[in-house]
Structure 1
Amino acid sequence: MMLRNVNACTASFLSQHIAETIAPNPDIPIIAIQEQLQRKYAINVSVLKSFRAKAMALNKLREDYVEQYGKLRDYVLELQRTNAETTVKLHVEIGANPSSPTRRFRRIYICFGALKKGFKACMIDLLGLDGCFMKGPFPGQILTAVGIDPNHGTYPVAYAIVEAETKSSWTWFLECLGDDLDLSRNSNFNFISDRQKGIVPAIASLFPCDEHRFCLRHIHENMKLSWKGKAFKDHLWKCATASNVPMFNKAMDDFKTFNDAAYKWLKEIPPQHWSRAHFTGRCHSDILLNNICEVFNRQLVNGRDKPIITALEHIRQYLMKKIVTVQRVISKCDGPLTPAATKLLSIIKTEAVQYTVLWNGRNKYEVNGPWQDQCVVDVEERSCSCRRWELIGMPCKHAVATIWFMALNGVDVGLPENWVHKCYWLDTWMNVYSFKMAPINGPTLWPKSNCPTTLTPPTHHVQVGRPKKKRKRTADELSQSIVKGSKISKVGTTVTCAKCHKKGHNSRTCKGI
């Protein structure tokens, strides 16, 4: 079939059909648009005219960005109508004219009642805090609070769209979160985040008694600005993973011997923010990285450049699907503990076999093993001098050896699984995901808000150039990236031959079988 000339088509015709093409994916390349037009309408469109038509189509799509702010109050009413005990807080700019019929959008906070109840049922009082960029003509920041479920998976609790990641926005977000989770100034809670300038003072002012951990990856990124290399990273991790103060002090002394300047820099960061030896055991988790937020933020990538309601719906639908997906996994599990806890305890049992135990005649036991880590276990207090039992709520290798010793001597202690904290039990995991999020109707069935004012989008200055879609990488990440062009680099890896199973060459260069 001969292709019709593009001059026979008007720009409005092109823009209409290109709008249909790019609506699901605004970043579709021009070449792909040309091919689709040729296949569907037999039209040969030049690149220049495709750009013009795409620009007109994008302008039409941007009108939806503005329109959705006007429907935001109706969306809030629908969420609260369908999902009981859901908290939605909408914050607008304070204008100079109170009688104005419009109000400019500033922030929105959402915490579903099901997620609120599920997090409290987790019994792991720790939340990761992070922010990621919104895209589109009215960008801002998505603030997230993500917990840990009994299977060491992510459990998102609340999220918000704010104007920027500042002390003011984080304070507002944490105030809303504190109201939902019943947190006060005297509460004993745990947060983990990067050292973002807005989060640190916000937590310190609202929850001065809470434990605030700093993500070790961000500390390492800052360290790499002056001290690069695997040796520095290994020393940092050795200090951070030490589970008690004597081990921590020894690791710090080794670091000081290795490099005094780096030691002094690290010492300036209070160890209660980044070292397990100084963590309390009240949250039953010893995590050092804020990966729980990174995992959740990765799920939001495809919704961050959409209009505000579409973006919020992308998050809500993901959360609703996640609950169902995890529940399917739970239905296939058996055993007293969750799969992750079972795997961890099996590793601990393997190590515990090599330990010997001495009893003091009361409730304390001296445990010694091949790694020269003699410790004292107190079964009444459920503690060990290595502090691992206290930190994660699961018996350490010294404690498991003690439990076996007690069983061999006629004490009815049951299995080691019985000594694991309830936050790792399969029943707890089932209870967490028993709280379901209710689906909502489409926009035509939403209740209408009686508010006399109309919401308008926030002001935004459009930057010159093409909007960035990917996270900015540090110089060190770019130099050591595992991705080279379109392929994964194999620098630093050792290949194994598929024929002779020897290392150092592949099957194509193998000289013998």
Structure 2
Amino acid sequence: MHEHYKKVGGYLEALKASSPGTTLDLVTDPTHKKFPPIFQRLCTCFEGLQKGWRVGCRRVICVDGCFLKTFLRGQLLCAVGRDGNDQMYPIAWAIVESENNLSWEWFLLHLQKCLELGDGNGVAIISDEHQSLSKHIFALWHKVYKGDELKILFWKIAKAYNMADFSDAFAELEKLNPAAATAFKDIRAALMQRLVLKRQEMQKATSKLCPKIQLKLEGEKTKAANCDVFPSTETLFNVNYYLDQLVVDLEAMTCTCRKWEMLGIPCCHAIACIYFLHREAEDYVDQWYTRDVYHQAYAGSIPPCEGERHWPRPEFHLDPPPMKIGPGRTG
């Protein structure tokens, strides 16, 4: 175990040599005053991923942590973004002693510096991926409140883009099962190769937009046929969609439903107005979803690193953290 930690220095030196712009920060336990120091945290953020996120991904970062299944325990913290094809984009990760305020603050400060976030204006940071969090909440809630009708209403509430739709769906749930609605409120309150492969996959695409985004747009185009458009100006419209009436502003790229603002993809109401003006819906999709920007996100690379036999042999003294014995174990 001690020999393994002696190799950490060689590994870090090899990484720095292969990728000078990569962020690597090793922290030792400040409470341990004796020599050699004891490992506490290590953060890694490759230069290619830093640059790729800055130029090719939407300003959204999802952060999460998980337990390390070793006798030394500890936690793995990670940060991921979303690329132009609406898939996960790895940014940075860290091994820390535990998931606490100090370790998260340390990790987020590294993210702030690596990604040049400044004061965070215009950046959304999500704790846990939204879909994973929603599924986790549903799994807990559905153990008690079963049935297809309740399931449908749960996801209708979870996927609402505006307060009007949320309130309508929630009212339906309260009417059907008041206890389930109360429980929903409680839970809601409590609550290297990749770069190359993604680049190669996108080279096969021919559309202006990334494939998954184009597919979503086609779905909205189909629904646009059910919209009636009433122009107020060249950019401002009233749209009737079944029993609902909404306002679309093509210049501001907004709609009463707020789906366009939230996703960056025109909703069916906006598309109906775009078609009314004989224009292309693709021209109104956020730039982050275009193939050109996607290629910028994956333009970088993570350089290869030699095997352990070829690592430098620096004078590097580091001890592992103390073993943590779980409850009920004697050793």
TM-score (norm 1): 0.59
List per-residue Cα deviations over 1:379-419 (Å, max 9, x = no partner): 11111111111111111111111111112xxxxx4x21111
Corresponding residue for residue 358 of structure 1: 230
CA deviation profile, 1:276-310 (whole Å, cap 9, x unmatched): xxxxxxxxxxxxxxxxxxxxxxxxxxxxxxxxxxx
Q: Which residue number in structure 1 is paired with residue 8 of structure 2?
A: 72
Correspondences of 1:95-494 after superposition (within 5 Å): 95-98=31-34, 100=35, 102-185=36-119, 187-194=121-128, 215-224=133-142, 226-268=144-186, 320-369=192-241, 371-407=242-278, 413=279, 415-451=280-316, 454-462=317-325
Change in Cα spacing, 1:231 to 1:459, as seen in structure 2 (3 Å) is farther
| Structure 1 portions without partners, runs of 5+ | 1-64, 196-211, 275-319, 408-412, 467-513
Aligned CA distance change for structure 1 residues 181 and 250 (closer, same or farther; 3 Å):
same
Partner Cα distance (2:193, 2:234) in 1: 51
Partner deviation per Cα, 1:401-458 (whole Å, 9 max, x = no partner): 1111112xxxxx4x2111111111011111111111111122333334355xx11111
Q: Is the 8 Å Cα contact of residues 104 and 455 (structure 1) preserved in structure 2? A: yes
Count of matched residue pairs: 329
Structure-2 residue corresponding to 1:206:
none
Q: What is the CA distance between 1:143 and its match in structure 2?
A: 1.4
* Alpha-carbon distance between aligned partners in 2 of 1:360 and 1:441, rounded to the nearest angstrom: 65
Cα shift readout 1:108-144 (whole Å, capped 9, x = no counterpart): 1101111111111233122222222323332322111
Change (3 A) 1:461 1:361: closer
**CA positional deviation for 1:464:** 9.2
List gaps (5 residues or longer) in structure 2: none
Letter matched to residue 151 of structure 2: K
C-alpha separation in 2, matches of 1:228 and 1:108: 44
Q: What is the match of residue 476 of structure 1? A: none
What letter matches 1:72 in structure 2? V
Q: CA deviation at 1:66?
A: 3.2
Which range moves more in the overlay, 234-243 or 256-265? 256-265
Q: Distance in 2 between matches of 1:168 and 1:97?
A: 20
Q: Could you tell me how far apart the structure 2 residues matched to 1:441 and 1:228 are?
A: 54
Q: Partner amino acid for 1:383?
A: T
What secondary structure, in the 3-state scheme, does the structure 2 residue paired with 1:155 have? strand
Aligned partners of 1:126 and 1:192 also within 8 Å: yes
Contact 1:143 1:162 in 2 (8 A): yes
> 1:25-65 deviations in whole A, cap 9, x for unaligned?
xxxxxxxxxxxxxxxxxxxxxxxxxxxxxxxxxxxxxxxx4
- 2: distance between equivalents of 1:326 and 1:213? 22
SS in 2 for 1:456: coil
Look up the equivalent residue of 1:142 and give its one-letter code.
L
CA 1:342/1:214 → structure 2, altered by over 3 Å: closer, same or farther?
closer
CA distance in 2, matches of 1:449, 1:130: 33
Counterpart residue type for residue 79 of structure 1: L
What amino acid is the match of 1:341? I
Q: Which has the higher contact order (CA 8 A, sep 6+)?
A: 2
Contact 2:56 2:295 in 1 (8 A): no
Larger Rg: 1
Q: Output the TM-score relative to the length of structure 2.
A: 0.89
Q: Which of 262-271 and 339-348 deviates more?
A: 262-271
Q: Identity of paired residues, percent? A: 33
Residue by residue over 1:221-251, the C-alpha shift from the partner in whole angstroms, topping out at 9 and shown as x without a partner, is 3424543444433222111212222111111
Supply the distance in 1 between the matched residues of 2:79 and 2:233 (Cα, whole angstroms). 47
